[in-house]
Amino acid sequence: MRTLVIGIPLPNASFDNYSFASAPSLSEYRRLVVEMSSVTRVVDEIAKASSEHRTFSGQLLVNSPAADNRFALADLLAMRGREAGQFFARGGVMVCYAYPDATILGIDGLPEWHSYDWFPPSERFDYRSGLLPGFGKDAAEPIDINHPFAPYFQEFAADSRYRAHVEDSAVTAAGGVVLARSAGGFPVAFNLPVAGGTIVFVPPLLDPAKDRQQIADAFLSAFEAIEATGQTIPAEQPTKVPDWIRKEVP
């Protein structure tokens, strides 16, 4: 089974590395890793035309209506929202490097856009108000040693520095599980069920480039451990890897 990685290239033969703009359909996958600050940056760059981005098929992304070989930014955002809904409906598991929600103005056809707007809405968790900004300077402390991602937190706890945290009550109300806490006791990593799938929010790392291979190995082991339970990701029949799947550095 392949893993789509957005915004933080990770070396593994089964990982497909792309940007939020250039990635193929999210719904073709059951595993997803997303670095949220890169999503916000890419959308902002397209909105301001400060950097060129293209779709998976090579169309230039523009902050204007689609025309010729140009793909509208508003259409990209709507498309990602549909794909994310399909991804989670199939029992997909997303690892999300968590940052507070950010607002981007000036997108043609939209009054405003929030960085988590492409996530399926959760009836019991508000991404905008639930992810509270903070700047942790100490390591994250892993809590749930039985969670499939526990080895990841144990290995990288010392290198994690949160940029968003949540209230315990928000996690509990959403049916989630706290996975790691800050030195002050705030939840900085947690598991959230959403739309038939799962999001695992994790704090960003100090220097992810330093340990890319170890990060990839830890994520792969965690995904496989979840799948082994047969509870989160439905079993699927072996299929041929589509010819269109390729890799690039975002």
- Note down pLDDT in tens along the chain; length 250 residues: 899 999 999 999 999 999 999 999 999 999 999 999 999 999 999 999 999 999 999 999 999 999 889 999 999 999 999 999 999 999 999 999 999 999 999 999 999 999 999 999 888 899 999 999 999 888 888 887 888 998 998 899 888 889 999 999 999 999 999 999 998 899 999 999 998 999 999 999 988 888 899 999 999 999 999 888 765 433 333 333 334 334 444 4
Position 32 scores a pLDDT of 97
Q: In this structure, is residue 82 part of a structural domain? A: yes
Amino acid, res. 139: A
Q: In this structure, is residue 237 part of a structural domain? A: no
Number of domains in the chain: 1
Q: In this structure, is residue 121 part of a structural domain? A: yes
Q: In this structure, is residue 247 part of a structural domain? A: no
Position 179 scores a pLDDT of 92
Closest to 22 (Cα-Cα) out of 48, 74, 60, 66: 60
Position 241 scores a pLDDT of 36
Q: In this structure, is residue 126 part of a structural domain? A: yes
Position 238 scores a pLDDT of 34
Position 137 scores a pLDDT of 82
Q: In this structure, is residue 36 part of a structural domain? A: yes
| CB < 8 Å & 24+ apart, contacts of 165-168 | 165/131, 165/132, 165/134, 165/136, 166/130, 166/131, 166/132, 166/190, 166/201, 167/130, 167/132
- C-alpha span between 234 and 152 (Å, rounded): 23
Q: In this structure, is residue 236 part of a structural domain? A: no
Position 173 scores a pLDDT of 93
Q: In this structure, is residue 244 part of a structural domain? A: no
Position 230 scores a pLDDT of 60
Domain range enclosing 36? 3-229
CATH number of 142's domain: 3.40.50
pTM: 0.88
